[in-house]
């Protein structure tokens, strides 16, 4: 098991805006000898994410680390002056745990920054902006990002107006020129094989001790005939920010963005806001794309629960159950 190392993050808090700083991590980083892992989760892409509590002589701070790719943490804004010139994870010990977030990831981070700059003029919803970026050590990059307002959609419900925001988001992603997106070397996976996915789902249901409440033969069939689009590809609740009125105020974490089957983002919405809302949000795609997206979400939720049972997925069990309930709602 690899050791995790904390990295300092820097937040600049002014009257007008907040920033968060991200730095890339190495597989050969300093061990977190004074930290202990308190929670681990996994993104849809399989990236391991650990919450690490790190204590120093003067303070303790909470850091979320995607080992080898990214990190999130907290540190006082005074550390920004030394951030670029040192790799010490214990700089800026006079920290406020609510001040900062960091994200890491070298080539992936550079690609995400470029993608956000490409899509920002097209989107009706905010995405983080990189105020400054560079290398904090040879081959390891950082970005100082604006912090967006709002709370996670896992903690705050999306209103009817918020659903319209998500509809506008999908429409805007379809308007992004694919040639420009492909120039960033985004992944472009083929549409998933629904027959094979259905078979896996039946096996997962058997492992969970019941029959899958779906008939793969009655589900969507064949290869999608719609052209590929730019996808966020990880539209789970924690990546959607919601304001007090239930409007979507920001979309985070574009590292898994890809060019592909639009049903994948429908599936993401089904596990974050529910099948009913996802069907309304994605109605412009047509019933075939919506049906395929809901099928993907329902299969995915059962498969991930079975993987959790086998110890192959370390996502919180309660969250997996909630996502399954959302995906299996009856759409209008």
Whether residue 43 has pLDDT greater than 70: no
- 291 vs 226, residue with greater confidence: 291
| 86 has pLDDT over 60 | no
> With respect to CATH, is domain 151-327 assigned 3.90.1200.10?
yes
Query: Residue 67: pLDDT band by 50, 70, 90 thresholds?
Result: very low
* Nearest residue to 5 via CA among 92, 81, 106, 88: 88
pLDDT number for residue 211: 63
Q: What is the pLDDT of residue 218?
A: 60
pLDDT band at 310 (very low <50, low <70, confident <90, very high): very high
Whole-prediction pTM: 0.70
Q: Place 137 in a pLDDT band, splitting at 50, 70 and 90.
A: confident
pLDDT at 151: 97
Q: Please provide the average confidence, as pLDDT, over all residues in the chain.
A: 73
pLDDT band at 257 (very low <50, low <70, confident <90, very high): very high
For the chain, domain boundaries? 19-146, 151-327
pLDDT exceeds cutoff 70 at 5 = no
Would you say residue 104 has pLDDT above 90?
no
Q: What is the mean pLDDT of residues 38-57?
A: 31
């Amino acid at each position: 098991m690899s050791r995790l190392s904390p990295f300092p993050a820097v937040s600049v808090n002014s009257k007008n805006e907040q920033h968060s700083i991200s730095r890339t991590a190495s597989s050969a980083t300093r061990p977190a000898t004074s930290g202990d892992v308190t929670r681990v989760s996994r993104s849809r892409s399989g990236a391991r994410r650990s919450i690490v509590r790190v204590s120093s002589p003067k303070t303790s701070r909470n850091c979320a680390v995607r080992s080898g790719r990214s990190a999130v943490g907290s540190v006082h804004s005074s550390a920004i002056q030394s951030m670029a010139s040192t790799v010490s994870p214990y700089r800026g010990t006079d920290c406020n745990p609510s001040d900062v977030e960091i994200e890491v990831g070298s080539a992936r981070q550079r690609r995400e920054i470029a993608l956000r700059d490409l899509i920002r003029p097209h989107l009706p919803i905010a995405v983080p902006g990189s105020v400054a970026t560079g290398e904090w050590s040879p081959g390891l990059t950082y970005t100082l990002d604006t912090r967006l307002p709002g709370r996670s959609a896992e903690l705050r419900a999306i209103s009817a107006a918020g659903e319209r925001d998500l509809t506008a988001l999908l429409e805007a992603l379809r308007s992004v020129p694919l040639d420009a997106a492909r120039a960033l070397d985004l992944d472009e996976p083929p549409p998933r094989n629904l027959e094979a996915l259905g078979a896996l789902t039946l096996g997962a249901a058997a492992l969970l001790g019941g029959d899958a409440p779906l008939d793969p033969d009655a589900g969507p069939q064949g290869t999608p005939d719609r052209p590929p689009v730019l996808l966020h590809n990880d539209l789970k609740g924690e990546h959607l920010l919601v304001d007090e009125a239930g409007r979507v105020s920001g979309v985070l974490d574009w590292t898994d963005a890809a060019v592909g089957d639009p049903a994948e983002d429908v599936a993401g919405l089904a596990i974050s806001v529910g099948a009913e809302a996802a069907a309304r949000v994605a109605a412009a795609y047509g019933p075939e794309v919506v049906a395929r997206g809901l099928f993907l979400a329902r299969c995915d939720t059962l498969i991930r629960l079975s993987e959790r049972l086998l110890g192959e997925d370390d996502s919180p069990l309660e969250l997996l159950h909630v996502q399954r309930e959302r995906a299996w709602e009856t759409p209008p």
